[in-house]
Amino acid sequence: MTAGPIRVVLADDQPLIRTGLRVLMSETPGFDVVAEAGDGAGAVALAAAHRPDVVLMDIRMPGVDGIEATRRITADGTARVLVLTTFDDDHNVLGALRAGASGFAVKDMALDDILDAVRVVAAGDGLLAPGVTRMLIEEFAARPRPPAPPRALPGVTGREHEVLTLVAHGLSNAEIAARLHISAATAKAHVARLLSKLDARDRVQLVITAYDAGLVTPKR
């Protein structure tokens, strides 16, 4: 993240939502809305033109949707993407995360929480409020689907498997440390090694990897 204000492109097909976010950010020090788009194609073009820190991306938009727009923006490293969603859209969120989004914010969250999410993603952490993360993970896990057979993760130790599973359940480093009776610094080191070994950009990608590997058992 740059030392100046966080440069944001707003992408949502609802003008009222864009206006509300723009007004909020204009009244909050540390944010600069550099452009707005009403569809995915516009978001891709504006991200390329302005090179913002974060694109706040709606999923459901006409033409090029938010998932495809996210894929195009993150593929060339134009910007980090924070997905805007409602829980009516939750079946699409995992697709957006797979496409390269660094996290998500729920539209009915408190506005200050959305700003916090933008700050976290801009900082490169990709870790959103654990409560919201857990809510969405629970939504995914509760959906009936064939169980995925566990697959090997070469180079990942037994302890790292434990840490990865806890990350997938939305636990913070401090919570992982408490659960495994290790120091917070050790938990952080395990997460850092997992990011490196699994070539994951952030914790969001670790969650996806854990589900793909069958380390997390879906609820029934």
pLDDT at residue 137, rounded to an integer: 59
Helix (H, G, I), strand (E, B), or coil: what is residue 35? strand
Domain boundaries, given as residue ranges, for the chain: 6-128, 158-212
Other beta carbons within 10 Å of 201:
16
Q: Tens place of pLDDT for every residue, the chain, 220 residues?
A: 456 899 999 999 999 989 999 999 999 999 999 999 999 999 999 999 999 999 999 988 888 999 999 999 998 888 999 988 775 555 677 777 778 888 888 787 788 888 888 988 888 766 555 555 555 555 555 555 555 555 678 899 999 999 999 988 878 888 999 999 999 999 999 999 999 999 887 777 788 788 778 887 655 4
CATH hierarchy code of domain 158-212 = 1.10.10.10
The reply to whether domains 6-128 and 158-212 share a CATH topology is no
Q: In this structure, are residues 116 and 148 in contact, taking their beta carbons and an 8 Å threshold?
A: no
Instruction: Give the CATH fold of the 6-128 domain.
Output: Rossmann fold (3.40.50)
pTM: 0.71
Q: Which residues pair with 85 in a beta bridge?
A: 106
Q: In this structure, are residues 139 and 106 in contact, taking their beta carbons and an 8 Å threshold?
A: no
